[in-house]
Amino acid sequence: MKVFLTGATGFVGGYLLSRLVADGHAVRAMARADGDLDALKAKGAEPIKADLLDEKSLERCVGGMEIVVHCGGLSSATEQEEELFFRANTLGSFLLLEKARLAGVKQFVFISSILVYLGLEKPLYLPVDERHPLFPHKNQAGAYKVAIEAYCYYYHIRYGMNTSAFRLAGVFGEIRKKQYGWPERIDNARQGKDFVCSRNSGSMTVSARDVAGVISLAIGNENIGGEVFNLADFYLENAYGARRIAEIGKFNYKTIEKESKVQPYIISNEKVRRVFGFEFSGKQHLDEYLKYLIDSSSACKTQQDKGK
């Protein structure tokens, strides 16, 4: 099928691009910078330079496409950048949805986030499923995701578009440019520094490969119009991650858990498994990911030692 993909130069979008191309789809991928065009072409996509706020460029993007997968946007902004964030994300996403409708695009897949729930520290019930009330008020990204989810549903009801939204948990994967706290934890482990955390602290997570696998199954699915799906695999406790680093890397340090009142915020993935028949990788991909990071940090340390 002919698929237009935003965010293809980013982390999750990069995994989606690779999977969609491997599945045999003709993918047109958006880039905002000239320097990204050749890289997208090398990955098997038809690159196109565009901006979500440039309506003419959006018309070129969606022209002749059957499906739009919208994964692009800013992840965060300062208080001084509220308008920029709103325009780039909320307004830009609406314009893409509208241009897709006018171009006769059959399906619109929106990559959302579990941030739509996380404004509420204690959920009303566990596990949190797609029927749980939304509380996005603690950050811009959550508010933006809720707004576009609502527009997707409205376009499904008003115009009959096959729109759907997938609420991603924290995503891990090898091609991520910023690995956040993992490299620091690995460096500390290599030095034998004990890891201290609150008991039960952690977050819901999912492998980028599993995200791509689910979206692959959503492409061309005519029975998911107006639906939202939690795309989360498991609750990763900080202590568990630290222990796996020690075991995989054969590091000698202790994981110390302090008593706390933290209650795991469990997100249900029952709907995704039921509708798509998808089985998540569980902690297999996590182990592969941690081994990749440990091996990468070892290679980096070797290079540093040689340079001394």
Q: How far apart are CA 18 and CA 21, in angstroms?
A: 5
Give domain status of residue 106, yes or no. Answer: yes
Give domain status of residue 96, yes or no. Answer: yes
Q: How far apart are CA 42 and CA 49, in angstroms?
A: 15
In this structure, how many other beta carbons lie within 10 angstroms of the beta carbon of residue 115?
Answer: 22
The confidence score (pLDDT) of residue 107 equals 98
The confidence score (pLDDT) of residue 208 equals 96
| Statement to judge: residues 196 and 90 lie in one domain | no
- Can you list the residues of the chain whose pLDDT is less than 70? 177-180, 299-308
DSSP code at position 267: B
**For the domain that residue 249 is a member of, what is the CATH number?**
3.90.25.10
| Statement to judge: residues 100 and 245 lie in one domain | no
Q: Do 40 and 31 touch, CB atoms closer than 8 A?
A: yes
| Statement to judge: residues 142 and 42 lie in one domain | yes
Question: Judging by beta carbons within 10 Å of its beta carbon (0-12, 13-18, 19+), is residue 307 exposed, middle or buried?
Answer: exposed
Q: Do 110 and 164 touch, CB atoms closer than 8 A?
A: yes
267 φ, ψ to 5°? -105, 130
- Residue 302 neighbours by CB under 8 Å, 6+ apart: none
pLDDT tens-place string over residues 82-128: 999 999 999 999 999 999 999 999 999 999 999 999 988 899 999 99
| Statement to judge: residues 18 and 139 lie in one domain | yes
Give domain status of residue 152, yes or no. Answer: yes
Q: Do 271 and 129 touch, CB atoms closer than 8 A?
A: yes
Q: Do 166 and 214 touch, CB atoms closer than 8 A?
A: yes
The confidence score (pLDDT) of residue 78 equals 78
Give domain status of residue 274, yes or no. Answer: no
Give domain status of residue 276, yes or no. Answer: no
**For the domain that residue 67 is a member of, what is the CATH number?**
3.40.50.720
The confidence score (pLDDT) of residue 175 equals 76
Domain that holds residue 186: 182-204+234-265+282-302
Give domain status of residue 177, yes or no. Answer: no
Give domain status of residue 155, yes or no. Answer: yes
Q: How far apart are CA 177 and CA 169, in angstroms?
A: 18
| Statement to judge: residues 243 and 130 lie in one domain | no
Q: Which strand (E) or helix (H) includes residue 236?
A: strand 234-237
The confidence score (pLDDT) of residue 271 equals 98
| Statement to judge: residues 24 and 150 lie in one domain | yes
- pTM metric for this prediction: 0.95
Q: How far apart are CA 53 and CA 88, in angstroms?
A: 7
Buried b (16+ CB within 10 A) or exposed e, 172-189: bbeebeebeebeebbebb
Count of the separate structural domains present in the chain: 2
| Statement to judge: residues 151 and 252 lie in one domain | no
- Residue 44: name the closest of 67, 77, 22 by CA: 22
Q: Do 188 and 256 touch, CB atoms closer than 8 A?
A: no
Q: How far apart are CA 181 and CA 184, in angstroms?
A: 5
| Statement to judge: residues 30 and 107 lie in one domain | yes
